[in-house]
Amino acid sequence: MSLQDGRTRTASPPAVVVVMGVSGSGKSTIGALLARRLCWEFEDADWLHPAGNVDKMHKGIPLTDEDRWPWLEEVAGWIDKMRSSGGRAVVACSALKRRYRDVLVGDHTDVRLVYLKGDETLIARRIATRHEHFMPPRLLHSQFEALEEPGADEAPIIASIAPEPREIVAWILSTLNIIEAAAPPEQTAPRPSGAAA
């Protein structure tokens, strides 16, 4: 399993983990599983997009930076709310460019970045099987064109998407040095943030 880590950002467990990658890389799956294992709150940043962004993506129109800034600020606000409240959380967010990650993570040492890395051919096959997601397969190439992989100074955990999701999550937990705090894999997942009771 080709996995790397960056442990220099902080030696203590983070308050928030941002799981990033292009559409179809498994952000929501891995993020939700990671939150379940940790008994932390989970949020999928896709659901924080304004309606106009979702409509553009449905139509196969790539988002511009102007489209993304209000969305990124919304996600960053959610992260800051979790940090300031003493909560612990995982958020799945594409965060394709460095300047986007500067908004979400910045110099916060208690926010860690997990980058799910995979090649375009594999991810395209996965997207082709997803019928209910609002990101059409034809937009995938534009995501790879926009992608700026995180550098070493961002202290990312870089995980190949090839292994099974539970293997990836177990490795992330080990890398974060919080495996002792994790719940057994079979524990019931927490309700996503904002879900109806």
Whole-model pTM?
A: 0.81
Question: 183: pLDDT confidence band, cut at 50, 70 and 90?
Answer: low
Beta bridge partners of 163: none
The mean pLDDT of the chain is 83
pLDDT at residue number 19: 98
Question: 140: pLDDT confidence band, cut at 50, 70 and 90?
Answer: confident
Q: How far is CA 155 from the centre of its chain?
A: 15
Is the pLDDT reported for residue 123 higher than 60?
yes
Is the pLDDT reported for residue 194 higher than 50?
no
State pLDDT tens for residues 49-83.
Answer: 989 988 887 787 878 889 999 999 999 999 999 99
Write the CB contacts of 129 (distance below 8 Å, at least 6 apart in sequence).
none
Residue with tokens 């937009």: 139
60-73: buried (b, 16+ CB within 10 Å) or exposed (e) per residue? eeebeeebbeebbe
**Percent of the chain topping pLDDT 70:** 80
pLDDT at residue number 56: 87
Task: Give domain limits for the chain.
Answer: 3-181
Question: 129: pLDDT confidence band, cut at 50, 70 and 90?
Answer: confident
Is the pLDDT reported for residue 193 higher than 50?
no
pLDDT at residue number 136: 61
CATH number at 3-181: 3.40.50.300
State pLDDT tens for residues 77-114.
Answer: 999 999 999 999 999 999 999 999 999 998 999 999 99
Strand arrangement, sheet containing 16-20: 3-4, 157-160, 111-117, 16-20, 89-92, 41-44
